[in-house]
Amino acid sequence: MQVITAARSEWIFPFTGLQPAQFRRLVRLVAER
């Protein structure tokens, strides 16, 4: 299993449709909850 991380920004948009900054905000929000 592989994980999409903000460290590999080239994978973020194709899999999520989000820009890297949006993805990082989403991950931070989910981690807080």
CA distances from 21 to 1, 9, 11, 31 (A): 24, 9, 13, 15
pLDDT in tens, 1-33: 777 666 778 888 888 899 989 988 998 999 999
In the three-class reduction of DSSP (H, G, I as helix; E, B as strand; rest coil), residue 17 is classed as coil
Angle 30-10-26 from CA coordinates, rounded to 5°: 15
Query: In this predicted structure, what is the pLDDT of residue 4?
Result: 66
Query: In this predicted structure, what is the pLDDT of residue 6?
Result: 67
Quote the CA–CA distance of 31 and 15 in Å, as a whole number: 19
